[in-house]
Amino acid sequence: MGDKMATEPILEEAAGVCVNAHGGAIGMPQLCAEWIPNQVFWLVVTLIVMFLILSRIALPRIGAVLAERKGTITNDLAAAEELKQKAAAAERAYNEALANARTEAAKIVAAAKADIQKDLDAATAKADAEIAAKAAQSEASIAEIRAGAMEAVQAVAKDTAKELVAALGGSADAKAVTAAVAARLKG
């Protein structure tokens, strides 16, 4: 103990009340009053410097950047909304044009159909008339032919009857033969 007492004044001078001769802490360095003015002074300096850096340069700059970004995003969103509406309008116009074209096409188709129908009807009517005319003509010629055939049959019958009468040795009265043939043909 006496030995330590002897060395103490030298230690005090070299290190102070908070640090021993080996540079180790005595107790809690946090409670060393000798260092407090130093810490407070440099803390105040640091806080003032940091406050000036932040309030003069950094915070206004970052605030401006954030505001600008927000503005840009708002503008972009508005532009996007506008473009979206334009696209919707274009689509509407396209659909309208498509619908118009469809009705137009339907109209043209209907008109074409009507035209074709008219032509068809006319052609049919013409053909019907021609067919009717031809039929009438044919009927007339058939009637003519039939009449001609009747006469020929009458003539053949008369001639045959005369020839038969003659062949049987009689002389046939032409009028009587004719009347008889006519009667037979009727009968």
Partner 1 sequence: MATGTEEHAAEGSGLAIHPMDQFIVKPLFGDGPVHWYTVTNVTLWMAISIVVLLGLFVLATRHRGIIPSRLQSVAELFYGFIHNMVEEVTGHEGAKFFPYVMTLFMFIFLANMLGLIPMSFTTTSHIAVTAVLAVTVFLTVTLVGLYRKGIGFLGMFWVSSAPLVLRPVLAVIEVISYFVRPLSHSIRLGGNLMAGHAVIKVFAGFAGAMGVASVVPIAAIAAIYGLETLVAAVQAYVFTILTCVYLRDAVGEAHH
Q: Which one, 76 or 173, has the nearer CB to partner 1?
A: 76
By CB under 8 A, is residue 75 in contact with partner 1?
Answer: no
Q: What is the DSSP letter of 29?
A: G
By CB under 8 A, is residue 76 in contact with partner 1?
Answer: no
Q: How many CB atoms lie within 10 A of CB 181?
A: 20
CA distance 33 to 27: 12
By CB under 8 A, is residue 55 in contact with partner 1?
Answer: yes
CA dist list (Å): 140 to 24, 133, 144, 181: 152, 10, 6, 27
Q: Which one, 43 or 123, has the nearer CB to partner 1?
A: 43
By CB under 8 A, is residue 36 in contact with partner 1?
Answer: yes
CB of 84 to partner 1, least distance (A): 23
Cβ–Cβ < 8 Å for 165, 172: yes
Cβ–Cβ < 8 Å for 178, 158: yes
Cβ–Cβ < 8 Å for 186, 174: no
Among 6, 9, 28, 98, binds partner 1 (CB under 8 A): 28
Among 51, 92, 94, 133, binds partner 1 (CB under 8 A): 51
Cβ–Cβ < 8 Å for 16, 29: no
- Applying CB under 8 A, what is the total number of residues that bind partner 1? 52
Q: Which one, 25 or 152, has the nearer CB to partner 1?
A: 25
Among 9, 10, 16, 149, binds partner 1 (CB under 8 A): 16
Among 2, 10, 54, 149, binds partner 1 (CB under 8 A): 54
Among 2, 6, 9, 22, binds partner 1 (CB under 8 A): 22
Cβ–Cβ < 8 Å for 35, 18: yes
CB of 80 to partner 1, least distance (A): 17
CB of 106 to partner 1, least distance (A): 55
- Alpha carbon 29 to chain centroid, angstroms: 82
